[in-house]
């Protein structure tokens, strides 16, 4: 993509609702993680990536099972194709 006009510093280019971004808070795993808040906080202290990575593994495993499909299947397949 190429901008057709100059873009000002700090100019908003797009808005993406938080509910549309895969993260530990809006995954089905969130309810499980909230049961053990101490563990969740410890994982986040190590790295902010840890809860996200756990979420990705959980959602991927969920789509691999015959019984379930993740609402995030599109982004999971896309990321697998990009990073594979």
- pLDDT 10s digits, 12-31: 999 999 888 888 888 888 88
Residue 69's pLDDT band (cuts 50, 70, 90) = confident
DSSP string, 21-84: S--GGGSTHHHHHHHTHHHHHHHHHH-THHHHHHHHHHHHHHHHSTT---TTHHHHHHHHHHH-
φ, ψ for residue 75, nearest 5 deg: -70, -35
Residue 62 CA, distance from chain mean position: 14
Domain ranges of the chain: 22-83
How far, in Å, CA of 29 to CA of 13, rounded?
A: 31
DSSP, collapsed to helix, strand or coil, labels residue 71 as coil
């Amino acid at each position: 993509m190429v901008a057709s006009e100059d873009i000002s510093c700090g100019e908003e280019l797009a808005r993406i609702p938080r509910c549309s971004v895969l993260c530990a808070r809006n995954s089905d795993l969130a309810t499980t993680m909230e049961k053990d808040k101490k563990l969740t906080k410890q994982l986040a202290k190590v790295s902010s990536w840890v809860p996200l990575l756990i979420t990705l593994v959980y959602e991927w495993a969920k789509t691999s099972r015959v019984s379930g499909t993740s609402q995030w299947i599109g982004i999971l397949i896309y990321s697998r194709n990009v990073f594979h």
